Amino acid sequence: MNTILSYIQKVPEERTREEKITYLVHIPPTIIKALKQRGNIPDPPYVRWMHYSHDKFYYIVTLGSAKGSMKNPLLKGNVTELPKEIVDSIRSETTPLEANAILWDVVTWKEKPVARARILFGYGEKLQNLLVFAYLRFPRKIKDYMLLCSRTKLYWKQLDKNTWLISKDQKDHDAISWHAWDFIKIPSKVLTQIGFYTEERDEIELTLKDGKPALLLRVYVTKTRSLDNFLTNFLEANGESVEIHNLLNAYLKTLPEDEEEPADLCDLAFKLYNFSIISHDDYKKICKHRDRPFYIHGYSLKTQINERGDDNG
């Protein structure tokens, strides 16, 4: 069966010397129906939890008697309280993420149906303002959620205009980011699709892809300049190159008569530097020697669409 998601509800009890939080879980009806096929289940049954793998938040869940540890009764409405042992494990985690959801599925174990339950931390949480020019900032919450190390590759799949799913799924992707850590460079294909905008608002939602942690990046453009629109519409990575004076002249031909912010060569170079199309040294060289030709390799005016699936940038 497919995976099913349910949420963990944290309920504070009456204040005593130490405030106690109860973690309540609603077990999906499909899971309950499958577990009741085992037979010989007492009434009322207990929800019994057992570690499933080296992941201490991945469990086998069954319905049975009150024997053993890591169990609590099944309450009205298919609700149960997480056992103290699991709550203690949750509280011992040093992550800033909250344990807030459980991913369920049903499998056969010892010829009987059992549920697998993986506790998720931070699922559905949204983080904003993580784009810094051509880079994506990865705070602690994203590192913990994605289980990142300093040389993790991340794979980008475009879902809609300015909407990308970022995961570790190397079988289904449009572009690749290399060696993720505090910042990752946005792949050039993604950057071109998102656009070279002066002002935007970005949001990353902690989500899942095929039951595994993933990031959903959405970019909302809030304000544009004519130079932003020009680069977004006419600049495309296709293995060729363009001379920067020709690029500026092409832009000036599209400039509206009432444009309040005309671009010069240095302004254009700064935009290209901000998005890592050229280096800082190249930017300074262009501004200092404005009459010298300078070729931007790997970019040209859009004459064809880049059909390549991978992006090694």
- Domain of residue 260 covers 226-301
- CA geometry: angle 30, 36, 38, nearest 5 deg: 125
Average pLDDT (202-216) is 96
Predicted local distance difference test score (pLDDT) of residue 235:
61
- Amino acid letter at 205? E
Domain boundary residue, one of 62, 97, 121: 121
- Boundary of a domain, candidates 223, 249, 268: 223
Q: Categorize the per-residue pLDDT at 64 as very low, low, confident or very high, splitting at 50, 70 and 90.
A: very high
pLDDT value at residue 299? 63
Is pLDDT above 90 for 74? yes
Q: Is 299 helix (H, G, I), strand (E, B) or coil?
A: strand
Its pTM stands at: 0.81
Q: Provide the 10 A C-beta neighbour count for residue 289.
A: 10
For residues 170 and 150, the model is more confident at: 170
Exposure string over 208-244, b if 16+ CB within 10 A, otherwise e: bbeeebbbbbbbebeebbbbbbbbbebbbbbeeebeb
Number of domains present in the structure of the chain:
3
* C-alpha to C-alpha distance for 169 and 210, rounded to whole angstroms: 9
The last residue of one of the domains, among 223, 241, 274, is: 223
Give the β-pairing of 112-121 and 126-128.
unpaired
